[in-house]
Amino acid sequence: MFRIGLTGGIGSGKTRVADLLAEWGAAVIDTDAISHALTAAGGGAMAAILAEFGPQAADPAGALDRAWMRELVFRDPQARTRLEAILHPRITAATNAAAEAAAGAPYQVFVVPLLIESGRWRERVDRICVVDCDPATQVDRVQRRSGLTPEAIRRIMAVQVTREQRLEAADDVIVNDGATTPYQLMTRARALHDRWLELAAAKDRTA
């Protein structure tokens, strides 16, 4: 199976790219969506999170209180480690199950926000694709969609690798800066989709 690791900084537009690839037939496995499902009310990680962090870790509906947890892990790096110890094995298991279920797709796309940071994905995928934009555009997009302050957004960006590090690790890049139109983004993503179909077919022939 031909596998793409799709990543990009917060606000880069990787979710839109993933949606386009799914429309064109790729099997998209979004680890962020898996994480959100695990931390929703009644999600598979919530009992362990509440046991580790206490009832204050949940919002009134019983889901993970993301704002509370965000503040905690920024103040206490060990809290991040404790949270990751709960989430990562569960995310990995769910990701593997989703990949197995999608074995018949032309190729698979793993959407991983911290793909470069994790250090675990290079050997799991055939190519890494980065959706790239400048930091100012990231802040503007995230602020418009989430209401977070620029300071809070920059704090999130600070725990991610730099734009330069991400581009250095990329096999493929989709530019989605502030001047990019939806049509341009679609065209750039389509060109790579067609190329990946060719590479997937070539890999199948040599398997």
Could you tell me if 70 and 63 are in contact, meaning their C-beta atoms sit under 8 angstroms apart? Answer: no
Residues 194, 188: Cα–Cα separation, whole Å: 10
Annotated binding site for ATP: 11-16
Could you tell me if 21 and 3 are in contact, meaning their C-beta atoms sit under 8 angstroms apart? Answer: no
DSSP character at residue 134:
-
Two tokens at 107? 């190729």
Two tokens at 141? 């997009």
Q: Which amino acid is at 53?
A: F
Residues 17, 174: Cα–Cα separation, whole Å: 9
Annotated binding site: 11-16
Cβ atoms within 10 Å of 129's Cβ, excluding its own: 25
Residues 120, 116: Cα–Cα separation, whole Å: 8
Residues 65, 169: Cα–Cα separation, whole Å: 33
